[in-house]
Amino acid sequence: MAISEKGRRKILVGEVTYLWWVEPWHDDAGDALHVVSRDGQLHLLVGLGRAVVISTGDRFGSRTGLRGPWRRFLAPFALPAAVTPSVIRALIEWAISAEANLTEIG
């Protein structure tokens, strides 16, 4: 899945480049952060100021083959209203860690 890089910020974590951007949430409940690996395997969606991460990609933590319905996980911290590269890096490192404590919620 090709992701447009126009208007997106890049961050390198390990040897993988991720794109991230903030846009209005679809239901006008504030802003949402998108984090996507260039290959599209990891795609995270997080409402800013919230502690729930929605995964819409194939991979999350040690889990693979997840594509399909959105899966919601409890994040280890709430994302602040203004994100920085260090916050993005911490979110990605948690989301790709095989040892992460992943709590899926309904």
Closest residue by Cα to residue 72 from 56, 88, 89: 56
One-letter amino acid of 42: L
Q: How far apart are the first and last CA of the chain?
A: 27
**pLDDT at residue number 60:** 76
Residues linked to residue 19 through DSSP beta bridges, in sequence order: 10, 36
Mean pLDDT of 66-70: 64
In angstroms, the CA 100 to CA 82 distance is 24
Q: Which two tokens stand for residue 84?
A: 């920085």
- Extract the tokens encoding 29: 């409940």
Mean pLDDT of 70-88: 84
Tens digit of pLDDT for each residue in 26-57?
766 788 899 999 888 889 998 888 888 888 88
